[in-house]
């Protein structure tokens, strides 16, 4: 419970972002995931569809099995000592954000889908 600007400042200064969801509650974690992508951060996310749809495992993020501490630790330990891998995954995340979530691209995609749907 901190102001959004402070939260985003902390994210921007982080080496890696972990989305620590315990349960698949539907609308949870997406804004953190998108912000992490925008900052070009490696994101470690749970295997819930609601979050995993934003990433490609080992390319633009790292998945962990929900409720499995060893899976989370394995994901963290695979990238923390490797700055090149952190940078590469973060770069791919940023590219996905630019293609899919940059405001002008997102609006253009929505309009394209509406046009296809409505004819």
How do residues 90-118 score in pLDDT, each as one tens digit? Answer: 999 999 999 988 877 777 778 888 888 88
Contact 17, 11 (CB under 8 A): yes
Banded model confidence at residue 72, pLDDT cuts 50, 70, 90:
very high
- pLDDT at res. 116: 87
- How far, in Å, CA of 82 to CA of 79, rounded? 5
Instruction: State the sign of the Cα–Cα–Cα–Cα dihedral 21, 26, 30, 31.
Output: negative
Q: pTM here?
A: 0.84
Phi, psi torsion values for 16, nearest 5 degrees: -150, 150
Phi, psi torsion values for 45, nearest 5 degrees: -130, 155
3-state helix, strand, coil in the chain (%, to 5): 55, 10, 35
């Amino acid at each position: 419970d901190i102001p959004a600007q402070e939260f985003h400042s902390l994210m921007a200064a982080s080496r890696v972002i972990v989305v620590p969801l315990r349960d698949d509650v539907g609308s949870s974690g997406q804004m953190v995931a998108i912000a992490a992508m925008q900052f070009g951060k490696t994101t470690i996310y749970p295997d819930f569809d609601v979050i995993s749809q934003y990433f490609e495992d080992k390319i633009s993020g790292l998945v962990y099995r929900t409720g499995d501490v060893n899976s989370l630790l394995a994901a963290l330990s695979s990238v923390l000592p490797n700055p090149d891998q952190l940078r590469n995954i973060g770069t791919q995340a940023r590219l996905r954000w630019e293609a899919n979530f940059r405001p002008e691209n997102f609006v253009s995609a929505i309009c394209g889908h509406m046009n296809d749907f409505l004819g």
